[in-house]
Amino acid sequence: MAQTSISQPVTGSSATYSTRSYLRDGLLIVSAALMAVTLYMVFMWVPTEQNLGVSQRIFYFHVPLGWIGMLSIVVVAVASLMHLITGKEKWDSLAYATAELGVIFATLILVTGAIWARPVWGVWWTWDAKLTTTLVLWFIYVGYLMIRAYGPSGTQGKRYASVIALIGAIDSPIIYKATDWWRTAHPERNVPSDLASEMLLTLLVAVVTFTVLYAYLLVERYSLRKSESDLDELHQRTA
């Protein structure tokens, strides 16, 4: 039986998962600080909107969640492609981690949207272009993860998953432009054109905050995923 002498320590290339990771700690602290600022601005500082009342403050969660949901699938698509081109495992880990996060953000935008719609629009849901395309994006995220979990293992499964991610990457700008291209129940502009300056500032801070939070969660999940991949490889070598 071949001797598999492990010359590297078991942790090997998952050294990025060392507890002394300044990037991860830094991101966590920054996102926590930003979140504190955002919460203060959203709940204490920004004025109440005249027509929608306090429910309008959902805007400061709903919009950032949406933008990140749209961004995430593009990252998945690019990372999947990079993996197929270079064959490097780290791209695959990035794709998978981003897809997992993407499901969360996509779910949240649909749920927060529905909760906001009920008192304001009068309905929980409607099949307009924006909501439909966002729902499609949700299905794409879920489909991607299911194929990774239950589809053929190895490169073939990853290829199928990449195709789905690519469809998602096409869907993403469609969601963004949906209110421009079609008549929808959403206001025409994704961010209202006429916006009190405090509201705009709060929105920007919220977007930055959620992006940093996303980056933090992504780095955590990515490192974890890479380590899991390494471990799996070790399993196979020592079996």
**Among residues 128, 176, 208, 215, which is the contact residue for another protein, using CB under 8 A?**
128
**Cβ at position 51, least distance to another protein in Å:** 6
**Contact 133/173 with Cβ under 8 angstroms?**
no
Instruction: Choose one: 68-76, 77-85, 176-184; the region binding another protein (CB under 8 A).
Output: 176-184
**Among residues 153, 156, 180, 204, which is the contact residue for another protein, using CB under 8 A?**
153
Q: Angle 59-86/129-150 helices, nearest 10 degrees? A: 40
**Among residues 13, 21, 61, 177, which is the contact residue for another protein, using CB under 8 A?**
61
Does the protein bind another protein through residue 176 (CB under 8 A)? no
Backbone angles phi, psi at 8, to 5 degrees: -80, 155
Q: Any idea what the Cα angle at residue 165 is, between residues 81 and 176, rounded to 5°?
A: 115
Q: Which residues within the stretch 190-229 sit at the binding site for another protein (CB under 8 A)?
A: 192-196, 198-199, 213, 217, 220-221, 224, 227-229
* Interatomic CA distance for residues 22 and 94, integer angstroms: 19
Minimum CB distance to another protein smaller for 82 or for 121: 121
Number of residues that bind another protein (CB under 8 A): 87
In whole angstroms, how far apart are CA 181 and each of 22, 133, 172, 175? 44, 13, 14, 10
